[in-house]
Amino acid sequence: MTDLNALSAREIAARVQSGALKATDIVGETLDRVLKMNPKVNAIVQNCGSDALAEAEALDARIAAGKPVGALAGVPVTVKVLSDQKGYASTNSCQIYSDVIATQDSPFLRHMREKDAIVIGRTNTPAFSYRWFTTNGFYGATKNPHNDALTAGGSSGGAGAAVATGMGHIGHGTDIAGSIRYPAYACGIQGLRPTPGRVPMFNQSGPDRAIGAQIMAVSGPLARRVDDLRLGLEGMAGYAPEDVWSAPVPLVGPAYRRRVALVTHPGGIDTDPRIVADLQRAAQMFRDAGWEVETPAQIPELREAVELQVDLWLSDGHEAKMEAAQREGDAGAIALLSHYADRAARIDVAGFGALFSRRAALIRAWRGFLADYPVVLMPNCAELPFRQDQDLEGDAMIAHLWDVMLPQIAIPVLGVPAISIASDVIDGVPSGVQLVCPPWREDICLEAGEVLERGFGFPGLVG
């Protein structure tokens, strides 16, 4: 049998389409990989093996009959447990939601299935997906594949750990404050946060999302190769009427100036020297590839974007969020919401309206900057991946983490795409860089990301 993890997702799909590989063999080998690796990292918490094998058999039969199949034919993927998948519980890693059984797929998953992707499992999150640490009292902790002492990231930590260990080629994640980009960074893989509206998300099993989540949360792919991110995005994206923010924007935009802004300390963060070195290496890779690289004297405001993110997401509906967290009894969720409780209590209707006015001003400034610099090269975080459950070390630590995570938290407020690119793993500690691009220009993220992937090298398979 071919080593599946030596192939890209696009190569797997091409071989399945041609009949050179059987979807049943691919799924079977992937499920064997899950049996081997999942006990070590606890990334997949709902196994879809029986359904995956049945779907693979049906796909092979269609191919044998000469029927057309999709661009993701036979590609093994994972889905985050907060998303609807028909017949499975949309738990968001909470015991209190264990009986919320989806009766239909979320639209991004429907799109992937239409292209014949096969879901082999559903991945772990922190309870309510509030944290950058994927631990909870329901499914337990997801381990960082490189180092048990470190977080696998969050909230898509299960997706990151699954991809890094070869349990599926493409992982579905969501991102409202770094929940795709940070697990990719922590697990030493690649992750793409799309523009809001690019990938449709709607859970029929629950109520509509609050306004902060509607305007900032996105679904997107994690993978070990940038081209797998591209294929994953092509599979997930597309207009869907259920998502009121969904927009049918082409995936490839017009020609652009290959100009990069190098920003090593955005918002004045104290970036770790190893990360600064990664950024300098990345800048040279762009120069060697013929791109312009400049260090602008200043960039538009980012610290205020973090403040707006807190209020638009955590302060809105704070009392209901806290009540649910207390019912679940999750220490991480309670600690975070308690940290911002007084702030949430101070926001009134006028204050909430003012947030949108300031957000518009910041977006306008950043769109202007990105028109001049279509790629901004910056850190994912000021620090290397955190210790597991570092946010449970007290209120001052929560404040510290939210300060050093400025490059993750600010970007969703601005409504732009960003990609996390792995650099290397040294002594069991991954690192990487982030690229930020204009709205709807994921194609720039991916093209620029491939420049760095060629320089840094493809992330290695763990285990």
Token pair, residue 357, equals 């006015």
Q: What is the pLDDT of residue 316?
A: 86
Q: What is the pLDDT of residue 1?
A: 55
- CB 450: neighbour CB atoms within 10 A? 19
Q: What is the pLDDT of residue 124?
A: 98
State the catalytic residues.
80, 155, 179
Query: Phi and psi for 259 in degrees, rounded to 5?
Result: -130, 130
The DSSP result for 151-165, as a single string, is: ---SSSHHHHHHHHT
- Assign 251 to helix, strand or coil: coil
Q: Any residues with CB less than 8 A from the CB of 325 and at least 6 apart, and which?
A: 127, 128, 130, 333, 334, 337
Q: What is the pLDDT of residue 333?
A: 97
Q: What is the sign, positive or negative, of the torsion defined by CA atoms of 24, 26, 31, 32? A: positive
- In the chain, what are the domain boundaries? 4-456
Q: What is the pLDDT of residue 460?
A: 94
Location of structure tokens 């797997």: 12
pTM here?
0.98
Q: What is the pLDDT of residue 2?
A: 75
The vertex-225 CA angle with 119 and 108, nearest 5°, equals: 35
Token pair, residue 423, equals 């650099």
pLDDT in tens, the chain (463 residues): 579 999 999 999 999 999 999 999 999 999 999 999 999 999 999 999 999 999 999 999 999 999 999 999 999 999 999 999 999 999 999 999 999 999 999 999 999 999 999 999 999 999 999 999 999 999 999 999 999 999 999 999 999 999 999 999 999 999 999 999 999 999 999 999 999 999 999 999 999 999 999 999 999 999 999 999 999 999 999 999 999 999 999 999 999 999 999 999 999 999 999 999 999 999 999 999 999 999 999 999 999 999 999 999 998 899 999 999 999 999 999 999 999 999 999 999 899 899 999 999 999 999 999 999 999 999 999 999 999 999 999 999 999 999 999 999 999 999 999 999 999 999 999 999 999 999 999 999 999 999 999 999 999 999 9
Q: Any idea how long the chain is?
A: 463
Q: What is the pLDDT of residue 369?
A: 98
Q: What is the sign, positive or negative, of the torsion defined by CA atoms of 425, 426, 429, 434? A: negative
Token pair, residue 18, equals 């041609």
Q: Any residues with CB less than 8 A from the CB of 392 and at least 6 apart, and which?
A: 331, 332, 335
Report the run of H or E that residue 256 belongs to, with start and end: none
Q: Which of the following CATH numbers is that of domain 4-456: 3.30.70.260, 3.90.1300.10, 1.10.760.10, 3.40.50.800?
A: 3.90.1300.10
- CB 268: neighbour CB atoms within 10 A? 11
